[in-house]
Amino acid sequence: MKWRIPHSCLAAVWLIFLSLPVVPDVLAAGNNVELSIAFSPGGALDAAARTLAREAEKELGKNIIVQNAPGGGGMTGVARLAKSRPDGSRLAACVTNALIFIPFRNETPYRPLEDVEPLLIFGQASPVLVTQPDAPWKDMDSFLAATRERGGEMRIGVPGLGTPSHIALAVMAAGDPSLKWRFVPFGGPGEAEAALLGGHVDAAASGVLPRIKKGQLHPLMVLAGTRLPALPDVPSLADKGFSDPGRGDSSFILLAPADTPETTLDELSHAFEKAAGSEAYLKILENFSVAPVLKSRQEAREFLRRAWAEEGDILKAAGIADMPAASPEKRDVGAAVPKGK
C-alpha cells in the first residue's frame, strides 16, 4: 500500500487528537480508586457522585477514576461491585432502590445486605410535586380538594412505578379513601414535566429545582420527610402528616465489596464524609433537588437493615405488593437473618 504524505499527516493529526482523553491517565500514577456509578451519565446520582469523588480526591490523596455502569436500575453496577476484589480499589455509588426495592421483587445476582458493605449515605432524592404555573390549584390543600371533587380522574405523572415519589403518593391515597389518582409512569427526567406542560397529566412528581425557581413549574409539596432548604415555603410529607415511606429507596449510597478490611473502609468513609460537607458538593445537590442527608458507615448499615425489614409492609401499604414479580418467594428470603458483622 503506497502511503501518500497527506494520508500520513492525517493519521498523525488523528493520533494527536485522540490523545486528549488519555493524557490525564498518563499523568496520574498508580494508586487509583475506581468508582463506578450504577446509572447513566447526567442524572442526579451521577452528578452528585462525580462531585463527591472530586472533593474526596483532595482528602484521600489518591486518584478516583469515575465510570458509569448503567443497567437494570442499578443492578449491573452493584453486581459487578459484589464480584470485585475487596481491597478498597473498587467502589460503587448507587441509589438504595437497587438494594431494597429491586431485590425484593426480582432475582438479583447479589444479596444486598451481605455482598456489599455500605460506606456512606450522601444524599436523599427529594422529588417535588409540581403543577403548571397557571393551574387552578395553588397549593397542596386545593390540589387535594380538587382530587376529591374529580373522583379519581386526576392524573399524576411519576418517574416510574415503585419509585419513592410514586410510593409516597400511593401511600397517601391508600390512607384516605376519598383520594384516588391515576399514576402515569414516565421514563426519566424531563418526560413527566413535558407531559405536564402539554396537558397530558395534571401534576408531575419530579420537579427539578432550577426550573421551579425560574417559575416554569409550580411546586406543591416535597415528597420526602423534610423540607428542602431551597424551597422553605413548600410543605413536606411530614408537615402534612404523612409518613415518608420512600425513605428507604431514594438515598444515594456509596458501597464497597464485602470483606474489605476495616482500616480501608474507615479511611475511605472519612474522606468521603468530609467531601460531602464541601460547598461545591452542596451546590450540586441543590441543583438536582437532592436533600443533603449524610449518614456515616454505622448509621448507613443500620438504615439499610431497617429499610429492608420494613419494605414488605411499605409495599403492601402502597398497594403494589401484589404487582407481578419474577419470583414472589424472594420476599421471604430477604427476611433471613444476615451474617452478623
User: Segment contacting another protein (CB under 8 A): 143-151, 210-218, 238-246, 269-277?
Assistant: 210-218
In the complex, the smallest distance separating the C-beta of residue 30 from another protein, rounded to whole angstroms, is 15
Measured distance CA(168)–CA(101) in Å, rounded: 14
Closer CB to another protein, residue 70 or residue 235? 70
In the complex, the smallest distance separating the C-beta of residue 238 from another protein, rounded to whole angstroms, is 27
Applying the rule CB under 8 A, the residues between 306 and 325 that interact with another protein are 319-320, 322-325
Place of cell 407481578: 324
In the complex, the smallest distance separating the C-beta of residue 69 from another protein, rounded to whole angstroms, is 9
CB 58 within 8 A of CB 27: no
Which one of residues 155, 270, 301, 331 is an interface residue with another protein (CB under 8 A)? 155
Measured distance CA(244)–CA(237) in Å, rounded: 6
How many other C-beta atoms can be found within 10 angstroms of the C-beta atom of residue 121?
A: 22
User: Segment contacting another protein (CB under 8 A): 135-143, 191-199, 247-255, 308-316?
Assistant: 191-199
Measured distance CA(194)–CA(245) in Å, rounded: 27
Closer CB to another protein, residue 158 or residue 271? 158
Residue 308's nearest CA partner among 340, 341, 330 is: 330
Check residue 133 for interaction with another protein (CB under 8 A). no
User: Segment contacting another protein (CB under 8 A): 70-78, 142-150, 242-250, 294-302?
Assistant: 70-78
In the complex, the smallest distance separating the C-beta of residue 152 from another protein, rounded to whole angstroms, is 10
Residues 6+ apart with CB under 8 A from 328: none
Burial category of 140 from C-beta neighbours within 10 Å (exposed 0-12, middle 13-18, buried 19 and up): middle
User: Segment contacting another protein (CB under 8 A): 103-111, 122-130, 226-234, 254-262?
Assistant: 103-111
Measured distance CA(127)–CA(76) in Å, rounded: 24
In the complex, the smallest distance separating the C-beta of residue 161 from another protein, rounded to whole angstroms, is 6
Applying the rule CB under 8 A, the residues between 73 and 92 that interact with another protein are 73, 75-76
Report residue 21: phi and psi, to 5°: -75, -15
Applying the rule CB under 8 A, the residues between 29 and 68 that interact with another protein are 40-44, 46-47, 50-51, 54, 66-68
Applying the rule CB under 8 A, the residues between 212 and 271 that interact with another protein are 213-214, 216
Strand positions, DSSP E, 215-292: 218-222, 251-257, 290-291
